[in-house]
Amino acid sequence: MPENKKEFEPKIVAFFCNWCTYLAADLAGTARIKHAPNARVIRVMCSGRVDPQFVMEAFAKGADGVLIGGCHPGDCHYQEGNYKALRRYTLLKRMLMDMGIEEERFRLEWISAAEAERLKWCVNDMVEKLKALGPLNVQVPTEDFAEEVQVA
């Protein structure tokens, strides 16, 4: 396949909670709300399930961006899992930025089951920003980095 004539298409790993954002993505489907095909959704029960290591692993394995989607504050199906996600996100984001991973590459978004339009916007907006950034290019010795974040 001739690679050169293709525009850079960022790969996004998206962790969506089962109750809000995953359903918003389903609703986008039933309402045929077209959006960029770059996100690969991994379903978790709650955004609070997203272990920071999942995010690290995604970047280590070649994701250009990671998107976490959860219920709006106060709306968590499990009361407060999204707050836990928010805390981890804030901390992890700082760490990733220290590593040279740009801010735009890691996002946490609150998207309710009714907000298919918002889901579309989030995905499209992220794709646009990642296209402007180009592929992830971390300036650290990747082998050591990969070894350190390697788990399981």
Partner 1 sequence: MSLEKKLPMGNGGPRIGVYVCHCGTNIAGTIDVEEVARYASELDGVEIARDYKYMCSDPGQELIKQDIRDNGLDRIIVASCSPSLHEKTFRDATAGGGVNPFYFQMVNIREHDSWVHTDIEAATAKAKDLIRAAVRRVKYHKALEIRRVPVHNEVLVVGGGIAGIHSALTLANAGKHVYLVEREPTIGGHMAKFDKTFPTLDCAACILTPKMTSVKAHPNITLWSMSEVTLVDGYVGNYEVTVKRHPRYILEDVCVGCLECIEGCVYKKGKVVDDFNLGLSSRKPIYIPFPQAVPQIPVIDPETCIEFKSGKCKKTCIEVCGDRNAIDLTQEETIEKIKVGTIILATGFKTFDPKRIPYYGYGTYPNVYTSLEVERLVNASGPTGGEVALRDGTKPKSVGIVHCVGSRDENTNKHCSRVCCMYSLKLAHLIREKTDAEVYNFYIDIRTPGKDFEEFYNRVAEEGVHFIRGKVADVFPAGDGNGQLILQAEDTLMGMVRKIPVDMVILGVGMEAQADAEDVRRTFNITCSGGGFFMERHPKLAPVNTFTDGIFLAGACQGPKDIPDTVAQAGAAASEALALIDAGHVELEPNTAYITEDDCSGCKTCVPLCPYTAITFLEDKQKAEINEVLCKGCGTCVAACPSGSINQNLFEDEEIFGEIEGVLAHA
Q: How far apart are the first and last CA of the chain?
A: 34
Q: Is 146 in the site for partner 1 (CB under 8 A)?
A: no
List the one residue from 7, 98, 141, 152 that touches partner 1 (CB under 8 A): 152
Q: What is the DSSP letter of 35?
A: -
Q: How far is the CB of 71 from partner 1 (least distance, A)?
A: 9
- E-strand stretches of 45-135: 65-70, 106-110
Q: How far is the CB of 141 from partner 1 (least distance, A)?
A: 20
Annotate 76-116 with DSSP letters as a single string: -TTSSHHHHHHHHHHHHHHHHHHTT--GGGEEEEE--TT-H
Are 66 and 15 in contact by the 8 Å Cβ rule? The answer is: yes
Residues 69-98 interacting with partner 1 (rule: CB under 8 A): 74-75, 77-81, 84, 88
Q: How far is the CB of 58 from partner 1 (least distance, A)?
A: 5
Are 120 and 35 in contact by the 8 Å Cβ rule? The answer is: yes
Residue 18 vs 133, nearer CB to partner 1: 18
Q: How far is the CB of 133 from partner 1 (least distance, A)?
A: 17
Residues 15-44 interacting with partner 1 (rule: CB under 8 A): 19-20, 23, 25-26, 28-30, 32-35, 37, 40-44
